[in-house]
């Protein structure tokens, strides 16, 4: 019961614009870090929601240093989400890690759920209004997802993807120190 109350309080704090006020912002960040056992600083806008859509044992949310989440973003970590260092998730981006079986019977609500863990690698940038669907397991290192994209499959390292469904537009040319 106590855990459920704290969980609902957490969801309220993250979604409420009241906690954007300067004197309440630190409380919001502290609650986020404590709830997710994060040891690194995260920056985020108002009205974000980071929660599992279904409470299941495999649900987890881990993040690295310098995570930035824009206002209105939604992250469903039912299947589990690991975010590496220096990742940006822009405004109103939506990430899903589960979907529903719909082929077994007339009542899809009784047919079960498919879970899919997601890893977002270092330096990735998910553009505003992007949609990451549950079939995606990896967003590669340094990848950029264009605003408004619908991502249905894994994104390679340093790829720039866009469209519906998202396709590789080109690869970033990153100089190496070798």
Q: Are 65 and 31 in contact (CB under 8 A)?
A: no
Name the β-bridge partners of 98. 115
Q: Are 137 and 115 in contact (CB under 8 A)?
A: no
Task: Determine whether 100 is an active site residue.
Answer: yes
Classify 9 as helix, strand or coil.
helix
Identify the DSSP state of 2.
H
> Residues 74, 79, 80, 83: is their CA dihedral positive or negative?
negative
Q: Which residues lie closer than 8 Å to 170 by C-beta, 6 or more apart? A: 159, 160
Please state, in angstroms and rounded to a whole number, the distance separating the CA atoms of residues 167 and 159: 9
Q: Are 82 and 97 in contact (CB under 8 A)?
A: no
Q: Catalytic pick from 36, 54, 98, 100? A: 100
Identify the DSSP state of 171.
E
* Catalytically annotated residues: 100
């Amino acid at each position: 019961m106590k855990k459920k109350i704290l969980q609902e309080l957490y969801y309220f704090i993250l979604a409420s614009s009241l906690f954007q006020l300067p004197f309440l912002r630190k409380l919001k960040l502290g609650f986020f870090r404590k709830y997710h056992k994060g040891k690194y600083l995260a920056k985020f806008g108002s009205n974000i929601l980071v929660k599992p859509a279904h409470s299941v044992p495999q649900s987890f949310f881990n993040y690295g240093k310098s995570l930035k989440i824009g206002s209105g973003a939604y992250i469903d970590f039912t299947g589990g989400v690991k975010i590496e260092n220096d990742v940006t998730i822009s405004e109103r981006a939506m990430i899903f890690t589960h979907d529903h079986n719909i082929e077994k019977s007339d009542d899809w609500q009784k047919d079960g759920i498919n879970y899919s863990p997601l890893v977002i690698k270092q330096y990735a940038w998910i553009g505003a209004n992007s949609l990451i669907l549950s079939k995606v397991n990896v967003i590669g290192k340094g990848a950029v997802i264009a605003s408004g994209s619908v991502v249905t499959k894994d994104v390679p390292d340093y790829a720039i993807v866009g469209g519906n469904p998202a396709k590789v537009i080109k690869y970033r040319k990153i100089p190496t120190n070798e």
